Amino acid sequence: MVEFELNLPEGLVGPKRCNCSICRRKGAVMAYVPLSCLRILRGAEHLKLYQFNSGVAKHYFCVNCGIYTHHQTRSHPTVYGFNEGWW
């Protein structure tokens, strides 16, 4: 089990769907927070990193159930995008 803590002082701001090839297939709706606002509380050992193309963006998923949890994009490396449908 993977458990996160999110600090969302303004709530969910600007959720959207990414149009990259991997996110389109996942169908995830994402919201974004500064890196300091997402903290893994437990289960980090169940998260795996997937990188494609340039290898800069970091996409994380659970190895047990396969769900996409969060990512760090190449274009905005100071924030995490998280799958709000998972929360």
Please indicate, yes or no, if residue 10 is contained in any of the structural domains: no
Number of domains in the chain: 1
9 three-class SS: coil
2 within domain boundaries: no
Chain centre to alpha carbon of residue 86: 10
* Domain CATH for 27: 2.170.150.70
Assess if residue 39 is contained within a domain: yes
CA distance 70 to 35: 11
Q: With 0.85 as the threshold, say if the pTM is over it.
A: no
Domain hosting 30: range is 15-83
Q: Please check whether residue 4 lies inside any domain of the structure.
A: no
Give the pLDDT confidence of 8-61 residue by residue, as tens digits: 988 887 788 877 777 777 777 889 999 999 999 999 999 999 998 888 889 999
